[in-house]
Structure 1
Amino acid sequence: MGKWELTMNPVQEWGEEVEDGAVYGVTLRREPVASDPNAGVTDQCCAFVQYRTCKVRRLKAATLDLLVNHLLDPSSSEQDYSRIFLSTYRTFTCTSALIELLFHRDGAVSDLDNSGFCSSPLLTFVQTWLDEFSEDLRDPPQHPALRLLLDHLSISAAVHGHVCSQPNYCSLAGRAEELLRSFQTEAERIPGSGSADLEPHADGSADEDSGCESSDQSGLMDFSACAVAEQLTRTDAALFVRVVPYQCLGCVWSQRDKKENMSSTIRATVAQFNAVTNRVIASLLCQPADPGPAQRARLIEKWVRVAQECRRLKNFSSLRAILSALQSNAVYRMRKTWASVSRDSLATFDHLCETFPDENCVLTERELLLESPSGGPVPYLGTYLTVLTMLDTALPDAVQGGLINFEKRRREFEVLSQIRVLQASCSRYSLAHRPRVAAWLQGQALLTDQESYELSKQLEPPVDSCSPSGWKHRSLTKKLSSLLTAGDGAKKVPADQISVSSSGSSGSEMEDVPLSSACSIRPQSFHSSCSNVSSCASSSSSDSPLDPCSPAWSCGGARPKPVPASHHKRSVSMTALPVYNRQVADSCVVRVNVDLGHNNGNMYKSIVLTSQDKAAQVIQRSLEKHHLEHMQWEEFSLAQVISPDRELLIPEKANVFYAMSTAANFDFVLRHKKLRAASSPGRRSTQQL
């Protein structure tokens, strides 16, 4: 009986139903039948429960007209459909077109049934729109979409003005007019975007001649770690609350450079993250006098305490920024400085780094965020931008001959709803403004990656690259390529660049050279909305010989130890030169093996992978590298080797740069499709995007 109960899942996916212009997913839901209150005592004591099976349909794909019809269908009981629609509709239509379509559809229904207009689902939908998604209608200076909605509501109110039930057209028209006045008042009070007082001075890069003399670096030791953390949290919280969730969608964020005023609220948050990272680095490298390693070590200890306070305040954004700065190449390479850091500070730093693993895995951070739902955390927004970018890359926008893939929008809504919950919790912060700390933070000189690295070399000159000291490499800061802007990275840090930590190793930057990677990464996995997009798994590349000049990197050391400077001759994020096992700028080096079914060994060829490469292009270049250009790329499939018994299959139309797992080694295999189909199912576990 117990085994039977385990197999009786109360919710089971049954299949799909295809109708004209729509695809529905069918779910069977098992529900207990309520007992009859008129039944006798003997009947009520029966030791069994009766169940009934209900058929539930959800709209998976449809045309825009059918999506709107489903939205305004009174018989539709699909949970959260209207909120999913409002959160993601900008991916397939514009606000003005949606308003016209909504009122045209509602007017047609009212003409057919005049008795049902007072209970039209449009009223509830518009009320939800105005109350929860009003930022959609903000389009200064004229706000044309909001004015269009107000016109339609006013016309409908004149026709149905006698209706007293709530909501009605009159009350919604008044709410829309009130919202328009609030937008206009805010624009008059704060000219521009309204967030200029919160945005950091991300474009104030230090002049080449002035160096670092413009900032008072001694101020950090004059403030308590709590004061610095509270001021950072106050700024981060104010910026995060202003984030418009739909701007985080992958298709919107990826267009930020092509369309004016796109993702402005995200840019402000990302600029603040990069500014904090830069200020930590500048405070360590820019000193009024020539400090010794011991003085720099005291500054590192102070920043570790600030990071600890940020974690106490649940400010995961500044916490991640500080950790990224301390792991940057310019700071991390200074072995004498790190040798002077106290053991307690190193232990705290290592614990913080382990709490937020550098494999860009969202699991651990989400667990921490949910420890105290009422605590009001400031999340690291890069986590959600990464997941949404991966979802946008892995799932198609249209299916079944051009139907809008609404199932993809459900997956995106899961992430956006988490952002909204965190914003509501984040608004509960009540921290005092600390003007002296704020002035010191804003007064820091911003350095480019090149300037930071040159200053670091001046403070601690590079050591011999063949030194047998065996320094361990824990993690480095990399740029998340899906969040980068093209160009102008040589001098200025763009406002919408964001840093993400990643563990990995680099044995060589040259193609066709044996590359090494002995880095062991803890198994992690993406859950919820990203469960089928990427996976983190233990991986190693023992099949390739180690370069005798490259050390074996260790990602799990008990304490951070800097690497020799010669192994990182330039800042990780300063150059676009691709390297193995690390995505730098918008490119990286990957190794590809071809499995032809016979014992061809583990011959890997290295190729440069860019953020624009689709799987078909990568397969074609890999065949050319292996001198197999006479073979057709359509005959092969591309998979990333996660571990000896696990692979991540890359779809032909997928963008490999974003679809690949950055937690595993950048090793791929080309396998003939006939060979893959004939292989034993139990031999290898293959995960598909």
Structure 2
Amino acid sequence: MDDQEIQSTVESILGPGVKVIDCEKKSSICEEEVLLINGVPIKLEGNDSVAIKEAILTGQIPSCDLLNQILIRAGILRAPVRLETSLSTKSSIVTKEEVTVSRNNKVIDERSRETHESNYYVSSTSEIWEPVGMIKKPRNPCYNSDQSRSESSASSDQGYTTNNSTNNVLRGEEEEQKLYSKYGESVPDCMQQCLNQLSNLGLSVPEVNPTLGNLSQTSGGNARGPGFSSSANICGSTTSMVNGANLESQDIRDNVGDRDHALVYRDGNLVSGSLEALVQHMVPTEEYYPDRAYLFAFLLSSRLFIKPHELLSEVCALCEHQQKLGGEGGKERFQRFVPRLVQLLAEWTETFPYDFRDERVMAHVKSITQKVASVDATARQEVSALLQNLLLRLTALERYEEGLARLTTESGAQQLSQVDVTELCPSAMILAQQLTHVELERLSYIGPEEFVQAFAKESPHLETSFKEMKKTRNLESYVSWFNRLSYFVATEICKHAKKKQRVRVVEYWIETARECFNIGNFNSLMAIIAGLNMSPISRLKKTWSKVQSAKFAILEHQMDPSSNFSSYRSTLKAAMWRSVGATDERQRIVVPFFSLLVKDLYFLNEGCSNKLPNGHINFEKFWQLAKQVTEFIAWKQVTCPFEKNSRVIAFLQASPVLTENALSLASFECEPPDSNPEKERFKSLK
């Protein structure tokens, strides 16, 4: 009984106005769980029993090792098995309620009520599990499969060495000999050679910027972006299929027990597998093409274990082996297989174009281009458009990076500008729009793989060669932009000697921050807040006493770091909801607080680089990382709808800013030090 019911019961006995002194309730619950596999209770003892019980009661999946033990007993690795799992839960609840009525501290009546409640819950699932099999790894003179298998449980896959083996179809003999001989050649030059090869075959190279969406996709392909709307849609493959083809019984017998090559699924979703198995899973056949979401997730994070040029080499070798391209009739089979290979290359260049800045990757592309162009005219056109589009993107990237280098040089060589930002751009709203232009442009040039490579250098689990492949120039320049904007805000305030002017500039930046918030530009917003909170600015008490700071307090609350930036995360979700389905480009803008995004991705990267105890790669972490990076890709592809003011943008990016010591000195000149620590600091700066 609740409090109101107890009070009503007492008043019905003694009349209104009585007071309940005490109420005691006692409940007891008895539960019993029964685990059945294929209709038979599974006898588990000790820690296994405890682990199963805890997992079921909390609605979680037991560890893979424990499930594998049970499933192997059921014959999962030997023959097709129908797996029926049922959970029965019985619960009995006995509730005893006692009411004691007293008057003048004397008990005059006692009543009790006892209720019994029994619940019986049953759930069951039924699945058919097929034996796991893999296509055997091709024997390759430059690839030591035994070494790879023996080291599969190590933290780095050293068995995956550069594969430049003989390949009669996918590599020309001339290309074989000079595969890695031209590292000094620039990527656009190398790509231009590919285009020249096509031109020599009588194909005109398009001058326009084609979109990959215009390429003809063969049946089974998927031209949409990688989607991660729900885990159920992530992977539809099952262990009974290998690259879309049913395994013959002899293939199954040949591969039974080869657990290093297994892919592990849970509820139809890929959760782990060896590197060899995951590479095999991305290789297309005539009948099979890997899911686009899987391709994106694997290409994104696999670079923690195998370099892109080595991965492409492995894919070429597997294609030749499983399609038997080197044997009799290989050319005809290759002609039927070409559309799949071109589609794979198209999706790779579309999602990770910066991989093709590596001359070793382009060496493989050149040989593929030569062979494709010689057997299929339609594919030749598609490869030409693909390479032309890639060339344009990489050329634009080079120009962008050259422009960044010039900005850095110019800002370091100039004297502190006497031009005030409020004079150059009187409207805080327009300044916020120009900041958004800068943010979206810099975001657009960050490759998704940079988030993975940024942490490769820090990971103790990766071999030295992977640490050396760190190519994160655009990501690092974007982080530097955040710091520059913070110092720019502080510089613009401290360069004014008069308090009235400083107050005006502070309020101008607060209004700019508010406009950034309304736009959805959270990175500039946070940079401005950081600049206003820098010690040389926050210590200007006389200045702040004249500032209308209510708006600033609201913005600080929105970006409050407490509870892991819970306020900001809620606001970001709202901005994402606004962006989805918005027809107005201004409502689609989401510029995240980048440092926090990098921090979130760092922890996901940690999970990606750590292998499971059985040596498998944790593909669940790959899915999680890919989902967040996919959101980032959607944000960076938004076109800024505001009118561009080149003069303001140049001023924001190239005008000199004061260093930390120079800011402190300028701050003390604005308002003299008023405490002993500040006085000591001022003396040290003189």
Distance in 1 separating the partners of 2:406 and 2:486: 12
How many residue pairs get matched?
Answer: 424
Paired residue type of 1:381: F
Match of 2:675 in 1: 464
Aligned partners of 2:438 and 2:649 also within 8 Å: no
Paired residue type of 1:83: F
TM superposition shift of 1:215: 3.3
- Decide whether aligned partners of structure 1 residues 389 and 171 sit closer, same or farther in structure 2, where only a CA change above 3 A counts: farther
The farther-off stretch of 219-228 and 395-404 is 395-404
2:235 is aligned with 1:16: no
Counterpart of 2:617 in 1: which secondary structure?
Answer: strand
Match of 2:22 in 1: none
Deviations 1:152-172 (A, max 9, x none): 25425656x4xxxxxxxx655
Q: After the TM superposition, which residues 90-129 of structure 1 pair with which residues of structure 2 at under 5 Å, given as runs?
A: 90-111=303-324, 118=336, 124-129=343-348
Distance in 2 separating the partners of 1:126 and 1:443: 39
The farther-off stretch of 432-441 and 112-121 is 112-121
Q: 1:134 aligns with which of 332, 350, 353?
A: 353
TM superposition shift of 1:348: 1.0
Distance in 2 separating the partners of 1:322 and 1:570: 29
Paired residue type of 2:503: A
Q: 1:453 aligns with which of 640, 645, 664?
A: 664
- Decide whether aligned partners of structure 1 residues 53 and 258 sit closer, same or farther in structure 2, where only a CA change above 3 A counts: closer
Paired residue type of 1:99: L
Deviations 1:534-591 (A, max 9, x none): xxxxxxxxxxxxxxxxxxxxxxxxxxxxxx95899999xx9xxxxxxxxxxxxxxxxx
Match of 2:552 in 1: 349
Match of 2:481 in 1: 272
Aligned partners of 2:608 and 2:622 also within 8 Å: no
TM superposition shift of 1:106: 2.0
2:558 is aligned with 1:336: no
Deviations 1:249-282 (A, max 9, x none): 2524759997587212212322222221121111
Distance in 2 separating the partners of 1:366 and 1:199: 32
TM superposition shift of 1:121: 6.4
TM superposition shift of 1:409: 2.3
Q: Which has the higher contact order (CA 8 A, sep 6+)?
A: 2
Q: 1:251 aligns with which of 443, 446, 455?
A: 455
2:637 is aligned with 1:438: no
Aligned partners of 1:237 and 1:429 also within 8 Å: yes
Paired residue type of 2:488: R
- Decide whether aligned partners of structure 1 residues 136 and 369 sit closer, same or farther in structure 2, where only a CA change above 3 A counts: farther
Distance in 2 separating the partners of 1:191 and 1:397: 32
Distance in 2 separating the partners of 1:58 and 1:217: 57
Distance in 2 separating the partners of 1:410 and 1:350: 38
Deviations 1:373-423 (A, max 9, x none): 232222222122111223334665333364433333233222212211212
Q: 2:426 aligns with which of 216, 223, 227?
A: 223
Match of 1:66 in 2: 277
Distance in 2 separating the partners of 1:8 and 1:267: 45
Aligned partners of 1:278 and 1:447 also within 8 Å: yes
Aligned partners of 2:342 and 2:383 also within 8 Å: no
2:652 is aligned with 1:429: no
- Decide whether aligned partners of structure 1 residues 146 and 568 sit closer, same or farther in structure 2, where only a CA change above 3 A counts: same
TM superposition shift of 1:90: 1.6
Aligned partners of 2:272 and 2:616 also within 8 Å: yes
Distance in 1 separating the partners of 2:84 and 2:340: 26
Match of 2:494 in 1: 285
Counterpart of 1:350 in 2: which secondary structure?
Answer: helix
Q: Percent identity?
A: 21
**Root-mean-square deviation (Å):** 4.5
Paired residue type of 1:94: K
TM superposition shift of 1:236: 1.0
Q: 1:414 aligns with which of 627, 649, 667?
A: 627
Aligned partners of 1:61 and 1:403 also within 8 Å: yes
Deviations 1:54-91 (A, max 9, x none): 47354444332211122337789878322211222222
- Decide whether aligned partners of structure 1 residues 442 and 61 sit closer, same or farther in structure 2, where only a CA change above 3 A counts: closer
Paired residue type of 1:312: N
Match of 1:238 in 2: 441
Distance in 1 separating the partners of 2:639 and 2:480: 23
Counterpart of 1:152 in 2: which secondary structure?
Answer: helix
Structure having the larger proportion of residues in helix: 2
Match of 2:471 in 1: 262
2:362 is aligned with 1:146: yes
Distance in 2 separating the partners of 1:176 and 1:438: 38
Q: 1:399 aligns with which of 612, 619, 630?
A: 612
The farther-off stretch of 239-248 and 353-362 is 353-362
Aligned partners of 2:487 and 2:531 also within 8 Å: yes
TM superposition shift of 1:177: 3.4
**Consecutive aligned runs of 4 or more in structure 1 exceeding 6 Å deviation:** 17-20, 73-79, 112-117, 255-258, 566-571
- Decide whether aligned partners of structure 1 residues 78 and 155 sit closer, same or farther in structure 2, where only a CA change above 3 A counts: closer
TM superposition shift of 1:339: 0.4
- Decide whether aligned partners of structure 1 residues 226 and 197 sit closer, same or farther in structure 2, where only a CA change above 3 A counts: farther
Distance in 2 separating the partners of 1:408 and 1:298: 49
Counterpart of 1:270 in 2: which secondary structure?
Answer: helix
TM superposition shift of 1:322: 0.6
Distance in 2 separating the partners of 1:146 and 1:414: 28
Paired residue type of 1:130: T
Aligned partners of 1:282 and 1:444 also within 8 Å: no
Q: 2:510 aligns with which of 301, 304, 322?
A: 304
Paired residue type of 2:61: E
The unaligned stretches of length 5 or more in structure 1 are 31-49, 162-169, 466-563, 575-689
Distance in 1 separating the partners of 2:316 and 2:394: 29
- Decide whether aligned partners of structure 1 residues 246 and 222 sit closer, same or farther in structure 2, where only a CA change above 3 A counts: closer
Paired residue type of 1:449: E
Paired residue type of 1:279: F
Counterpart of 1:151 in 2: which secondary structure?
Answer: helix
Counterpart of 2:64 in 1: which secondary structure?
Answer: strand
Q: 1:181 aligns with which of 382, 385, 388?
A: 388
Counterpart of 2:475 in 1: which secondary structure?
Answer: helix
TM superposition shift of 1:329: 0.9
The farther-off stretch of 322-331 and 66-75 is 66-75
Structure with the greater alpha carbon radius of gyration: 2
Q: TM-score, normalised by structure 1?
A: 0.53
- Decide whether aligned partners of structure 1 residues 61 and 193 sit closer, same or farther in structure 2, where only a CA change above 3 A counts: farther
The unaligned stretches of length 5 or more in structure 2 are 1-30, 32-54, 77-82, 86-122, 128-265, 460-464, 583-587
Counterpart of 2:655 in 1: which secondary structure?
Answer: coil
- Decide whether aligned partners of structure 1 residues 458 and 133 sit closer, same or farther in structure 2, where only a CA change above 3 A counts: same
Q: After the TM superposition, which residues 15-94 of structure 1 pair with which residues of structure 2 at under 5 Å, given as runs?
A: 15-16=63-64, 53-54=126-127, 56-72=267-283, 80-94=293-307
- Decide whether aligned partners of structure 1 residues 405 and 365 sit closer, same or farther in structure 2, where only a CA change above 3 A counts: same
Match of 1:670 in 2: none
Q: 2:526 aligns with which of 307, 315, 320?
A: 320
Distance in 2 separating the partners of 1:106 and 1:431: 48
Aligned partners of 2:520 and 2:591 also within 8 Å: yes
Distance in 2 separating the partners of 1:431 and 1:315: 13
The farther-off stretch of 93-102 and 364-373 is 364-373
Distance in 2 separating the partners of 1:446 and 1:383: 24
- Decide whether aligned partners of structure 1 residues 179 and 126 sit closer, same or farther in structure 2, where only a CA change above 3 A counts: closer
Paired residue type of 2:498: P
Counterpart of 1:223 in 2: which secondary structure?
Answer: coil
Counterpart of 1:372 in 2: which secondary structure?
Answer: helix
Counterpart of 1:446 in 2: which secondary structure?
Answer: coil
